[in-house]
Structures are given as C-alpha cells and as structure tokens.
Amino acid sequence: MLKDLSLEEYLEIVDSDAPTPGGGSVGALVGALGAALSRMLAHLSLNKKKFIEATQEQKEMFVTAANDIKHYKEMLIDGIDGDALSYQCVVTAYKIKDEFEIQRALKTSAFIALDIQKNALSALSRLIELVPLGNKNVLSDLVAGAILLQSCIEISFLNVQANAKLLIDEVDRHEFIIEGQRCIDEGKVFKEAILNAING
C-alpha cells in the first residue's frame, strides 16, 4: 500500500517512470497533510488559557470540529491508494478492450476523485470553527492547512474531468463536472473565510 511507504519511498515512486501514484494520489496526500496541519493547531490549543476559560459549548464545538477533521484526514489517506488503484483498473479495461468495463472503470475513477474532493471540502469547511479558540501562534498553520485542502480539491478535479469526459452517459458526465466544480467554488469561499477571520 502506498500509504504504508515512508515519505522518501513515496516520493521516489512519484519521481519515476511508474504511472502511479500520479496527480490524484498526490492530491489526496496534500489534502491529508492539510487536515493534519489544521489538527496540529487544535492539539496546541487545548492547554492554552483561551481554551481553558471558554464555555463548555465552545469547547465542544472546537473538539467536535477537530474530530471531524481527523475523520476526513483518514478518508483522504485512503484516497492515496484509492486513486492509484482506480487508474490501474482503467488501464486494465482499455487493455482488454471491453467497452462496458472501460465505462465502469472510468465512472469508478471519477467517483473516487470526486470523493477525494468532497472529503477535502468537508475538512476545509470545519476549519473556521477552530479559529476562535485556536492558539494564535499557530494560526498561520491553519491557513496553510486551508490552502493545502483547497489545492487537493482543485487537483482532484483534474481527475474528475479526465475520466468524466470519456463517459458515454451524458448525464453522468455532466453531473461529475458540475459537482466537482461546486466543490472548487465552495472550497474557495471557506478558504477565504479562514483568511479573513485570521487577518481581520
């Protein structure tokens, strides 16, 4: 499994003539890093005066957001392998020249790329809830996390497009593109909200 490799091993495979892992897998990794970096802020905020003196409701909102981000981080980690495996299925389908299998593999690959987009977007949408009680010394890391998550969304959309445009079913093709673009647009709004909240 790609996710079990060391960072150096993973980078060496990317920097080779192997077709996978490619942009989609790397994009999922970027998203997972963004989520992890955002949670770093959460970890470094729990023992600070601002958090300790907050209301129980504020604390629960903060912790719930951090836990949700962890869930999406784990989903993005799964996407590191999921994207690579789905691409291999597409290649195999083209080799056997079975149109049904080709279409099924393309649709699955587009779905996985869209799922990566959605998980990154879901994580990004929760970052704003970490700002009020967040350790001010690491708020820049939260911004970095937001940028990485948005990058993941945009990178994964490239795979959504690449697979969806080859689908024979026009409805499926249209829905994948529309939904993927929606993720990009909503992600931009959430990212800007983080920037505005931190920069005042």
Does the residue 7 lie in any domain?
Answer: no
pLDDT number for residue 72: 99
CB 152 within 8 A of CB 30: yes
In-domain check, residue 15? no
Is there a domain that residue 11 lies in? no
CATH code, domain carrying 109: 1.20.120.680
Return the pLDDT at 200.
Answer: 67
Determine the pLDDT at residue 148: 98
Contact assessment for residue 83 and residue 21, using Cβ atoms and an 8 Å cutoff = yes
Residue from 101, 109, 105 nearest 79 by CA: 109
* Arithmetic mean of pLDDT, 118-135: 97
Whether 124 shows a pLDDT value over 70: the answer reads yes
User: Is residue 49 situated within a structural domain?
Assistant: yes
Question: For 5, which DSSP code?
Answer: S
Q: What pTM did the predictor assign?
A: 0.95
1 domain-assigned:
no
DSSP secondary-structure letter at 97? T
Parent domain of 37? 21-199
- For residue 25, give the nearest of 86, 92, 105, 96 by alpha carbon: 86
pLDDT digits (tens, 9 = 90+) for 26-80: 999 999 999 999 999 999 999 999 999 999 999 999 999 999 999 999 999 999 9
Residue 3 falls inside a structural domain: no
Residue at 6 is within a domain: no
Peptide bond preceding 19: is omega within 30 degrees of 0, i.e. cis?
A: no
- In this structure, is residue 127 part of a structural domain? yes
- Report the domain count for the chain: 1
Closest CA to 32 of 110, 102, 124: 124
The pLDDT tens digits of the residues spanning 89-111 come to 999 999 999 999 999 999 999 99
